[in-house]
Amino acid sequence: MKSVLVIEDDLPMLQNLVEVLEDEDYDAVGASSVAEAVHRIEERSFDLIVTDVRLPKIDGIDGLVLLQKKLPKVKSIVISGYSGEDAAERAIKLDDFVEDWLAKPFTRIDFLDAVERVLNSDNWLIYYANLLKRTPVKLLNLASKFLSRDKNVSLNAMRDKAYLALYKGIKSGLLEVGSANIVFSKMARYDRDYRHHVTSNPNEDQREQLTKLYQEEFDLLAGLIQSQRRALGESEIPRDRFRHFFDTVKDAKVSLHDFKLAATLWEIPFAELSQNLELQKRRQALWGAPIQAK
């Protein structure tokens, strides 16, 4: 049974979230402050921490930094009822510790979907790797390299950090659609270079250059307030299509693994996925129905 610690100072809300989790057979424990949460984790361990941002004395983001020192492998979800730019930026800088962000108000289904996604993220990684390898589309077979943990481990880790930062930037409301499109388009270009890298004779210089490019996007996203005040470049994806994708992510309908695969799926013609209906459905969910020729 997976264990979840919920930190929320609104007691009716706290009780409701704990009960929702218990109804789904999670081992759920509540805390109304970071101080109480510290006492809870001194008594036992948890698989997941769900915390509100606004808490008395120590806010949820600073609280997560403190709790991570005691539970370094714990995963977390941040919930927020306001567009706190500072909180969102700090959450992005926590790398892969904060794996999801829920904006209030959210539904019971949104909450449970986020909990399931985060708790099962390791299983989804294996599932996606196998799914891509079985797909008779060269582009997707190459994309499976993104999920491997081989000699490209440092490059993959930096790519993951950059995509996670963009994912949280969109879900938190910190990043508007135009800036998100530009950053996403740049990372899609880096992904194309990555696929070329693994099909050629890869060398350390190429690997280091790609790692540096993903690092630059992560650094840019970690300073989103400043980045949106200057020119970021040009986007490649049509506005209406990216708006569909952006809204789907913001509405908590896209998992992190789907998000990291989205750029590759965008580049594949819809018809080419006909031999894998699951991936075809995922592409349509992410990018909308294909435009029918007149």
Comparison of pLDDT for 126 and 52, the residue scoring more: 52
Shared domain check, 18 and 100: yes
Tell me, what's the pLDDT at 293? 43
Instruction: Judge whether 90 lies within some domain.
Output: yes
For the chain, give the percent of residues with pLDDT over 70: 78
The whole-chain average pLDDT of the chain stands at 81
In the structure, how many helices (H) and strands (E) does the chain have?
Answer: 14, 5
Tell me, what's the pLDDT at 181? 93
For residue 49, give the amino acid letter.
Answer: I
Answer yes or no: are the C-beta atoms of 285 and 255 closer than 8 Å. no
Domain extent for 223: 121-287
Shared domain check, 68 and 43: yes
Cα(280)–Cα(278) distance, integer angstroms: 5
88, 119, 150 — which closes off a domain?
119
Shared domain check, 143 and 179: yes
Q: Which residues pair with 5 in a beta bridge?
A: 29, 49
65, 95, 119 — which closes off a domain?
119
Q: Which of 48-62, 167-181, 208-222, 263-277 has the lowest mean pLDDT?
A: 263-277
Total structural domains within the chain: 2
For residue 284, give the amino acid letter.
Answer: Q
Shared domain check, 187 and 158: yes
